[in-house]
Structure 1
Amino acid sequence: MSLQDPFTDLKIERQDSGFYKGYNLPIALVSKIAVSLLVLWALVWPLSANDTLRSWKSGLLSEFNIFYDLSVALFAFFLIVLAIIPATGRMRLGCDDERPEFTNFSWFSMMFGAGLGVGLMVYATAEPLGLWETNPLTVSGEVAAKSQDAITGAYRYTFLHTGFHAWAIYVVTGLSLAYYAYTRDMPLTIRTALTPLLGEYSNGVAGHVIDILGVVATILGVAVTIGYGVSQLVDGAFLITSADWLMDGVMKPSTAGLIVALATVMVMSTLSAVSGVGRGVKYLSNLNLILSLVLLAVFIVFGSFAFALTTYGQALVDYIINFVPLSLQAYGPMSEVEFASALPPEAAPFVAELFPAATDAWGTRDSFLAGLSGETAALPDTAKHAAYEAGIPGRLFGWQSGWTTFYWAWWIAFSPFVGLFLARISRGRTVREFILGAVIAPSLVCFAWMTILGGSAIDLELNGDANGAILSASTTATLFVTLSQMISGHMLVIVSFMCVVLTMTFLVTSADSGILVMNTIMSGGVEETGVMHRILWGGLLTLVIGTLLIAGGGGLEALTNSMIIGALPFSVVLLLMCVALGKAMINDLRRARYDESPAKR
């Protein structure tokens, strides 16, 4: 008996005339209103906005940290199953005889630039170095921070944050959208991915809500990326020009510097977005990849390449061996009652004094002991150490929610943008090719960046050459400080200038791709959208980033808190995408078998 034909009658109403011609009015208006309200809130009441966002983020992580972490594990395992099963892996995103639109080089460079370009520039040195100082192995006391033994944990979690799990988030979105768009000829928009579950309800309010969540998540994800990127731009510009107005204090970008850098990036991004994917984004992405290879060569020649090469192999094996345990590692908050139950009797009366310090993920045993005073300081050494050990679950939760979950929220918020962008450039590829090309290949390149650039920074600190200079640098300044420890003179200026250009092109690529994707969602999947709307959304995106930077006092806290909050509802959409895609593939395979059966013939 044949299956019922899949639901493909997706009718997204578009305006026939006026300013919103070609756009779905509810999606466009609600998205703009939501973004405008966020801008006004952050602009008129910056302190209130920052404090409220911080409180919301804290409460959300207490309740949903485990949900975030296990959801990402599910995405990775889901894609592994699809790639391994022969029937699903050989399905083609398009007609059976269709071939890819872009060459592998252009496909990879666009994917690389949009997916993690700015993140690599900011975190290639900062991430491994930061995790060398603090990771679950150091937090639990298994190894000493900033030691030779701590390198294993540093790269285990660096690879977790930038590897298969992370890219799986993008690919779940991209594969879902591409599958329906190119095998069922449906619109390339977020709601399409849930049509196997929603059916005709996709044409109503439910569909509008899903697309709006995609737009809002995209704005917040792109905003955080650009926020970090412009901060690094200012750091690099200061190193080259020594202009005092760019900095506010020691290696902290000034608000004025950030706003000027932001305005420059967004003007260039909007101009590139107007030119479209085939020209602006494609050419910038190719330039990004070439300049990235040049920067990589600088670190290979002048950095600690032997250290990086050894670390890469060992860390990759360690990551693969620990893939399943890392996937299922999720912690909940620790209560004072739980902490008290693990204390020795002599320390039990001092729970209130001991609990905050013992569960502080960013402290150390030495700082915990040094911070004790009065009666707690007079406790026996065994009781003090036992109290610190009792706080391990709380410290692990604090570390994970502040580090790993922050990354998962960032990747999830970025996934509507990168996923839809991946879908647009991946027509004609098989499911297996899409998964391997967009999960495995970028991960291996990210690992190389993290070990070559980050390994050089760690080696300079480990052998004492940097003397703490890199460790004391801000996140966005770490790359430039590492370069200053490796090279000097005119060459340092030239390479630093190249890094500024590379960061700029990565930012422009991310922002213009985000603008194109937001317009695609609001137009119901139409790829060629109105120029004025691209310009308008470029302006709105600039206002979101600028006002949240001001609300954060020139820092990135308000931006990151907004993103973590906004990513939660879209993580539910991603889980539903997995269910919907699994259902669609199973039913399509059953239909194909029925059509080829003797009874059918």
Structure 2
Amino acid sequence: MSAERGTTTQARESGVQGPGSDAIAAEERRPTDKVVFATAGGIVLAFVLWGFADTDSLASASSEALAWVTHNAGWAFALTATGFVVFILWVAFSRYGRIPLGADDERPEFRTSSWVAMMFSAGMGIGLMFFGVNEPLTFFTTDPVPGTGEPESIEAMNTAMATTLFHWTLHPWAIYAVVGLAIAYGTFRRGRSQLISSVFTPLLGRRRVEGGFGRAINVFAVFATVFGTAASLGLGALQIGSGLQEIGWLGDVGTGLLVTIIAVLTLAFVASAVSGIERGIQWLSNTNMVLAAVLAFFVFVAGPTVFVLNLVPTAIGDYFADLAEMAARTEASGGDAMQEWVSGWTIFYWAWWMSWTPFVGMFIARISRGRTIRQFVVGVLLVPSVVSVLWFCIFGGTAIDLQRDGADIAGTVDNPAGQEEQLFSVLQQLPLTTIASLLVMVLVAIFFVSGADAASIVTGTLSQRGSIAPSRGVVVFWGLLMGAVAAIMLMIGEGGATALEGLENITILAGAPFMLVMVGICVALAKDLRSDPMMLRQDRGVEAVEQAVDYGLERYDGEFHLQVRRTPGDGAAGPDEGPDRRR
């Protein structure tokens, strides 16, 4: 760990804890919580065994549960997702935005470029590679939203880009930011454990948080993190396998090869996780940021450059113009057709992001020490959103333009192209196809490693009572288990598709109850911020000045000035002593 910066003080047992009091509480190596570790590990293994023994039963049960949740709680997802955007912006640009996540004079632990790269790789890396072409192209070639336009029309293109940005910019990063900010504030400002359960201390008290209630939350967080990460690892393996097939290195990609890919990359991310964030994740994330920029620049230059440039302002304008309408899409606004569409896309994404918040939120909290709340929100919310806009305009816009010119990127209705194949289909229409395809596979592999790397550390932290530096044995255990879950997801069924769908549904279901947890996190964070030492000093200062002004107006009829002196107990002159008593 890097050397601690700034002033630190001993955490007090009660009352408001001073800034930097995390020196003892957060930096120490803590023992493994056997209840959390055993319970979470047992649940994960039970689902793995269920999927291995009866894939159809698992897929059926999760699909039915998912259908019930999306039908009965779709409105809640719509309201809370937008509510988190409003809440996090209010916190950032209110007076609370000046509060640092650490001691008052503490500086950020990581450079801004490394900080942005790490949170971006952890939050959406494989997702951007997988859906960068697929989602805009799917919306463009089919009715993007029921009743909004004919497929492959200008209206469909505008709706497709606006809806894609709606799913990948402000809303998901606001969901991440709520949890990340609450954990970072509690850990680095209040000296609490870096656990999701610790966020509820101002509402429930330390005893309940450290008891069964807190452990239940942490077990659930580990469960959601493992399955959410494993699902993404499965997607990454599928895309790498598809790339090997597209460039002609393999004729047929079977399950055995995909499992081998997962095994090799699992060993890589476990080694990276053991090396620590500063050396492992930071190096991988910086490397991936450069490679991703190179790939995006290549597609931008080799593809329809002018079309993409025109698409950027159009997509941004359509996004903001349609934001309220997109946020309000529910069954009531379009009947059964709208309900089916929203369930398959928007609610799916909101639940997916929420299931990832234990992992991504804790990780961005870990790397954000020393920044102010305003810096945190601007970095976590706005910077990745801008990158997502450029990414989807470049890749989605290129795919749409090629599709309009006759290239069969999306496939036909009867024989649609696989989601994992569409990015490589775009690259086949551009020069340097083999080199670009190899770059994509390297990018996916590093996103695979860096994302799972961070997830292993986070699950280790949850298993060891909030330790920022969990033991290597615990990190290795969770890393290997994630790789095993991802491998089994692909081993079961034809090509692993059935198991992948079933376990993805479980991951989405994990986000539903966590939605309620996140609402509680917002309430707890707001209560914490009101009693922050910096806010208390400000409030007391304003109160003291107001009292002095009222006294001066009443006693001296406005003819006074304010002066700061020591109290009489310090040996200084009394308030009425001295040459000038008109204050």
> Structure 1-normalised TM-score?
0.83
Decide which of 207, 215, 226 is 2:233's aligned counterpart: 226
Q: CA deviation at 1:459?
A: 0.3
Decide which of 113, 128, 134 is 1:126's aligned counterpart: 134
Match status 1:148 vs 2:154: yes
Measure the CA separation in 2 of the matches of 1:331 and 1:432.
36
Measure the CA separation in 2 of the matches of 1:308 and 1:455.
6
Contact 1:552 1:558 in 2 (8 A): no
> Match of 1:149, SS?
helix
Measure the CA separation in 2 of the matches of 1:63 and 1:552.
30
> Match of 1:207, SS?
helix
Decide which of 420, 434, 444 is 2:376's aligned counterpart: 434
More divergent stretch after superposition (31-40 vs 459-468): 459-468
**Could you tell me the percent identity over the aligned residues?**
33
Decide which of 188, 191, 194 is 1:185's aligned counterpart: 191
Decide which of 195, 205, 209 is 1:199's aligned counterpart: 205
Q: CA deviation at 1:467?
A: 7.2
- 2:423 aligns to what? 479
Q: CA deviation at 1:594?
A: 4.9
* Aligned AA (2:353): W
Q: Deviations over 1:233-277 (max 9, x none)?
A: 11011123432341xxxxxxx322321221122111111111111
- 2:218 aligns to what? 211
Contact 1:156 1:319 in 2 (8 A): yes
Contact 2:409 2:417 in 1 (8 A): no
Contact 1:331 1:396 in 2 (8 A): yes
Greater relative contact order, per chain length (Cα 8 Å cut-off, separation 6+): 1
Decide which of 415, 430, 447 is 2:357's aligned counterpart: 415
* Structure 1 residues 79 and 315: CA distance shift in structure 2, 3 A: same
Match status 1:455 vs 2:397: yes
Measure the CA separation in 1 of the matches of 2:266 and 2:204.
37
Measure the CA separation in 1 of the matches of 2:172 and 2:481.
28
Q: Deviations over 1:1-25 (max 9, x none)?
A: xxx8259999xx99x9xxx981111
> Match of 1:486, SS?
coil
Q: Where do residues 16-165 of structure 1 align in structure 2 (5 Å cutoff)? A: 22-85=31-94, 87-134=95-142, 137=145, 139-140=146-147, 142-165=148-171
Contact 2:234 2:489 in 1 (8 A): no
Match status 1:5 vs 2:11: no
* Structure 1 residues 227 and 468: CA distance shift in structure 2, 3 A: closer
Match status 1:166 vs 2:206: no
Q: Deviations over 1:205-225 (max 9, x none)?
A: 011011111111111211221
Q: CA deviation at 1:485?
A: 1.5
Contact 1:132 1:151 in 2 (8 A): yes
* Structure 1 residues 586 and 166: CA distance shift in structure 2, 3 A: same
Q: CA deviation at 1:521?
A: 1.1
- 1:380 aligns to what? none
Contact 2:399 2:409 in 1 (8 A): no
- 2:557 aligns to what? none
Q: Deviations over 1:157-186 (max 9, x none)?
A: 100110101111110110000111111111
* Aligned AA (1:544): V
5+ unaligned residues in a row in structure 1: which ranges?
A: 247-253, 335-391
- 2:247 aligns to what? 240
Q: CA deviation at 1:511?
A: 0.6
Decide which of 481, 504, 510 is 1:540's aligned counterpart: 481
- 2:531 aligns to what? 587
Contact 1:7 1:199 in 2 (8 A): no
Give the paired residue count: 522
Match status 1:292 vs 2:315: no
> Structure 2-normalised TM-score?
0.85
* Aligned AA (1:238): Q
> Match of 1:496, SS?
helix
Measure the CA separation in 1 of the matches of 2:119 and 2:233.
17
Contact 1:217 1:570 in 2 (8 A): no
Q: CA deviation at 1:552?
A: 4.9
- 2:366 aligns to what? 424
* Structure 1 residues 444 and 590: CA distance shift in structure 2, 3 A: closer
Contact 1:135 1:157 in 2 (8 A): no
Q: Deviations over 1:469-518 (max 9, x none)?
A: 5983211111101100222xxx2111111111111000000111100000
Match status 1:492 vs 2:433: yes
* Aligned AA (1:234): G
Contact 2:272 2:281 in 1 (8 A): yes
- 1:261 aligns to what? 261
Contact 2:144 2:151 in 1 (8 A): no
- 1:283 aligns to what? 283
- 1:508 aligns to what? 449
Contact 2:354 2:515 in 1 (8 A): yes
Measure the CA separation in 2 of the matches of 1:109 and 1:478.
25
Q: CA deviation at 1:395?
A: 0.6
Q: CA deviation at 1:46?
A: 1.7
Higher Cα Rg, which structure? 2
Contact 1:174 1:423 in 2 (8 A): yes
Contact 2:102 2:370 in 1 (8 A): yes
Q: CA deviation at 1:434?
A: 0.7
* Aligned AA (2:442): V
Contact 2:17 2:190 in 1 (8 A): no
Q: Deviations over 1:418-477 (max 9, x none)?
A: 111111111111111111111111001011000001100000011224475598321111
More divergent stretch after superposition (174-183 vs 530-539): 530-539
* Aligned AA (1:591): L
* Structure 1 residues 260 and 467: CA distance shift in structure 2, 3 A: closer
* Aligned AA (1:313): P
Measure the CA separation in 1 of the matches of 2:410 and 2:387.
28
